[in-house]
Amino acid sequence: MKIAIVCYPTFGGSGVVATELGLELAHRGHEIHFITYRQPVRLALLNPNVHYHEVNVPEYPLFHYQPYELALSSKLVDMVKLYKIELLHVHYAIPHAYAGYMAKQMLKGDGINIPMVTTLHGTDITLVGNHPVYKPAVTFSINKSDIVTSVSQSLKDETNKLFKIKKEIHVIPNFIELGKTRNEKLISCNRSAMARKEERIVTHISNFRKVKRIPDIIKIFYKIQQHIPAKLMMVGDGPEKEKAELLCQELGIQDKVIFFGNSNEIDEILSYSDLFLLPSETESFGLAALEAMAWSVPVISSNSGGLPEVNFDGESGYLSNVGNIDSMAENALKILSDEETLAQFKQKALGVAQRFDIKNILPLYEELYQQAINNKSK
pLDDT tens-place string over residues 262-274 = 887 888 899 999 9
Query: For residue 95, is the peptide bond before it cis, meaning its omega torsion is within 30 degrees of 0?
Result: yes
Question: What is the per-residue pLDDT for 65?
Answer: 62
- CB count, 10 Å around CB of 373? 16
Question: What is the per-residue pLDDT for 186?
Answer: 47
Helix (H) or strand (E) segment spanning residue 361: helix 358-375
Q: Which of 111, 92, 51, 49 is nearest to 75 (CA)?
A: 51
DSSP for 82-105, please give it.
HHT--EEEEESIIIIIHHHHHHHH
Question: What is the per-residue pLDDT for 194?
Answer: 84
Distance CA 296, CA 274 (A): 8
Low-confidence ranges of the chain (pLDDT < 70): 10-12, 41-42, 44, 61-66, 123-124, 126-131, 179-189, 377-378
Contact 192, 161 (CB under 8 A): no
Indicate whether this model's pTM tops 0.95: no
